[in-house]
Structure 1
């Protein structure tokens, strides 16, 4: 049985769709509470809940006596520092290239529990398209090997919300850096990450040209825009070729 989406959540989804599509841009006033109530056939109290939650998520800004506006987000690289391996290697005077192993669109029935959890996709109806079809693409997946001086140094597995960045899958990621493209198309407001030491599974070992079960450093990161996850990435690094460092 398909689970009914609450009215306030439908309103939130519609507002986010308008923002991500560019219909409502930063600084633009959105429809009034009364107009939204009429459009969705709900009470103003229901609309108010949706707007209140989006304001708390810093997607919208409510101004007393003026209305509700798309928030002017102050995105920058110091708030969410997304390292670009291509720039790092070129800055170190090392020869860099990227090789795309695969890229594809993923439908709801192809998602594992980790991806459902990271993107907040409900097992019952979260992957349905607007026409009710379960065949709608919900995520894009790319796998890329990054080389330094001809030696594989990082294997990238990335998943991107297909609705928020629809042209992502069309890019040539042997030329375009994934992080740079996402920042340009869907500016990042916050993120979270973990770094773990893991033994390399056979597939990863093959891509990194190391022995199976060799030590690797794995950076997992998810980043948000307009209150929702835009991308989740796993970056595998050969343990004897890579280290993370910074200044305190």
Structure 2
């Protein structure tokens, strides 16, 4: 069961994304929200506090709570673009789209449900409504596969995503342009290559790979989740401290 404070957060976000509450608009008072959801003001306060910390809402002492003016910029979240990285290194870059498809709620595994906050009893199960887009892409450097990208995108937030030619358009660049990112998180792990990954990267099954898993947010909700698989002997992550 979804906690009461999370239900309130979801309802507020739905009102914002639907346009009912726009940037600068005042939202319902704590008292009104408590009555609407049948909860204490403390529960409402937690929901509003978290949305304020996520920069979705702005609480003004003595005036109420307002939808924040979203001034996101992609520099808030540095998203590495493999196409730019390879071209800047004077490597020949190409992308090959392996598959693109639309997923309904009934088609999602537990991991994707958790990432995108989709409940198993989601009403969209019954109506075969698109909830996520999935693309799989192989990125090549000088003709050699260097990265296998598996990406899922919220179909409601970026409806034209699936129509793009990702052998020409970079997925990250497109998402930043259409749904500016406010924050994200990622992990990097060493994993044995699954059969599909091994085939894409042209390595033996169970070979070592480096996997970057990243999810990014816009206006308080997950927009995209991606797994980027790299052959362990062809790729490294580096940066400056």
Task: Provide the rounded CA distance (Å) in 2 between the counterparts of 1:113 and 1:219.
Answer: 19
What is the CA RMSD across the aligned residues, in angstroms? 3.0
Q: Is the 8 A contact 2:74 2:176 kept in 1?
A: no
How many Å separate the matches in 2 of 1:132 and 1:65? 43
Question: Contact 1:109/1:134 (CA < 8 Å) preserved in 2?
Answer: no
* Distance in 2 between residues matched to 1:47 and 1:212, nearest whole Å: 50
SS at 2:74 equivalent: coil
Q: Is the counterpart of residue 40 in structure 1 residue 33 in structure 2?
A: no
What residue ranges of structure 2 are gaps of 5+ in the alignment? none
Question: How far does the alpha carbon of each residue in 1:113-171 deviate from its partner, in whole angstroms, 9 at most, with x for none?
Answer: 11112222222xxxxxxx77341221111101111111111000001111222221122
Q: Cα gap change, 1:146/1:34 in structure 2, threshold over 3 Å: closer, same or farther?
A: same
* Separation in structure 1 between the aligned mates of residue 66 and residue 161 of structure 2, nearest angstrom: 27
- Post-superposition shift, 1:70? 2.4
2:119 matched to 1:139? no
> Contact conserved, 1:108 with 1:134, CA < 8 A, in 2?
no
| Separation (CA, whole Å) in 2 of partners of 1:71 and 1:59 | 5
For residues 149 and 135 of structure 1, the distance between their equivalents in structure 2, rounded to whole angstroms, comes to 41
TM-score in terms of structure 1 length: 0.80
Q: CA deviation at 1:109?
A: 1.6
| Of 173-182 and 28-37, the range deviating more from structure 2 | 28-37
Distance of aligned partners of 1:62 and 1:201 in 2 relative to their CA distance in 1, 3 Å threshold? same
Q: How many residues align?
A: 237
Q: Which runs of 5+ in 1 are unaligned?
A: 124-130
Counterpart-to-counterpart distance in 2, 1:132 and 1:198: 32
TM-score (ref. length: structure 2):
0.82
| Residue 226 of structure 1, CA deviation | 2.0
Question: Residue 191 and residue 67 in structure 1: after superposition, are their counterparts in 2 closer, same or farther (change >3 A)?
Answer: same
The question of whether the paired residues in 2 share the 8 Å contact of 1:73 and 1:189 is answered with no
Could you tell me how far apart the structure 2 residues matched to 1:94 and 1:147 are? 9
| Change in CA separation of 1:22 and 1:237 when aligned onto 2, cut-off 3 Å | farther
